[in-house]
Amino acid sequence: MNFTYQRSYRGRIKLAVFDWAGTTVDYGCYAPAAVFIEGYRRKGIAISINQARAPMGMEKRAHIQTIGAMEEVAAQWQKVHKRPMQQQDVDELYAAFVPLLLKTLADYAALIPGTRATVDVLRTKGIKIGATTGYFTEAMAIVQTAAAHQGYTPDFSVAATQVSAGRPAPWMLYRVMNELDVYPPQAVVKIGDTKPDIEEGLNAAVWTVGVAKTGNEIGLNEAEIAALPAAELATKRAHAYATLHQAGAHYVVDSIDDLPAVVDDINARLARGERP
């Protein structure tokens, strides 16, 4: 008779890897959305906030290209410029995007409530803290510095431009795991507010947690959330939860505040031999 055997990791979560904007800083993920709108406006193209947000989480050059490929945006570009968008146009939009983002990032770098407390709780459980982002290196440095002044410093952080490809590729996550000497993937949880965040985690075979209320899917800051009628907030929240679940998230929560309970649940599942 022939038998096969399957290894089963029965340990605990060793590493939590967070996104930046919309997850740990920039409640509502406003900074990049506003800059994409302004960049296209300078080319004579009006894009909506929803179009600007749709590819959020991707590396920013890829984000610009994805917006340009949208049917309505492509038609508008053809009408204004008398030709389809070309790679040179993407390069010019990206070149304009970089200084615009660097100029505004510090204004949107306030920690999301609960970030420091959550990270402190995780560290008491022996969990290392990593970060990945769709931002380029210089932008990530601005956010890191601002977050550090507020008491949040990941053990290691990676920008999309520091690997061969950003989200949804798993390379940023693998680099964090390598630098912090954490394996197997079952011992890692990725937390983010966008579909590419979730896809990044799934492609790396780690646990994934979507953040609904503070991130890109609702796209409102804390004051705007508080001002919403309860029924409207419930509708937006339900849509955000559905979007992130449909992307494949193992869990979806309102905010980073909810993560310690999720980690406890994952640890219980790991002890039973479950895997992502």
CA distance 77 to 149: 42
Predicted confidence at residue 5, as pLDDT, reads 81
Least confident of 21-35, 140-154, 166-180: 21-35
**Are 240 and 255 in a shared domain?**
yes
**Are 156 and 82 in a shared domain?**
no
What spatial distance separates the first Cα and last Cα of the chain, rounded to whole Å? 30
Average pLDDT, the chain: 95
Is the separation of the CB atoms in 21 and 29 below 8 Å? yes
Residue 103, judged by CB atoms within 10 A of its CB (0-12, 13-18, 19+), counts as exposed
From 51, 80, 107, give the residue that closes a domain: 107
**Are 41 and 85 in a shared domain?**
yes
Predicted confidence at residue 6, as pLDDT, reads 84
Domain membership of residue 4 (yes or no) is no
**Are 140 and 244 in a shared domain?**
yes
pTM over the 0.85 mark: yes
**Are 103 and 170 in a shared domain?**
no
Domain membership of residue 8 (yes or no) is no
From 14, 60, 128, 190, the catalytic residue? 60
pLDDT tens across 210-265, in order? Answer: 999 999 999 999 999 999 999 999 999 999 999 999 999 999 999 999 999 999 99
pLDDT tens across 88-101, in order? Answer: 999 999 999 999 88
Domain membership of residue 2 (yes or no) is no
**Are 117 and 152 in a shared domain?**
yes
CATH of the domain at 165: 3.40.50.1000
**Are 193 and 266 in a shared domain?**
yes
CATH of the domain at 91: 1.10.150.240
pLDDT tens across 24-72, in order? Answer: 999 999 888 888 999 999 999 999 988 999 898 898 899 999 999 999 9
Q: How confident is the model at residue 1 (pLDDT cuts 50, 70, 90)?
A: low
CB atoms within 10 A of CB 123: 13
For residues 108-127, give the mean pLDDT.
97
Q: How confident is the model at residue 78 (pLDDT cuts 50, 70, 90)?
A: very high
**Are 91 and 184 in a shared domain?**
no
3-state secondary structure of 230: helix
Predicted confidence at residue 31, as pLDDT, reads 87
Q: Can you give the residue range of the structural domain that contains 93? A: 31-107
60 is an active site residue? yes
CA distance 232 to 235: 5
**Are 40 and 168 in a shared domain?**
no
Domain membership of residue 10 (yes or no) is no
From 19, 26, 197, 257, the catalytic residue? 19
**Are 25 and 148 in a shared domain?**
yes
Q: What is the torsion angle, in degrees rounded to the nearest 10, for the CA atoms of residue 54, residue 55, residue 61 and residue 65? A: -70
**Are 103 and 113 in a shared domain?**
no
Helices (H), the chain: 31-41, 49-53, 60-69, 71-81, 87-104, 115-124, 137-149, 171-179, 195-203, 222-227, 230-246, 259-271
257 is an active site residue? no
Task: State the DSSP H helix or E strand holding residue 191, giving kind and residue range, or none if neither.
Answer: strand 188-192
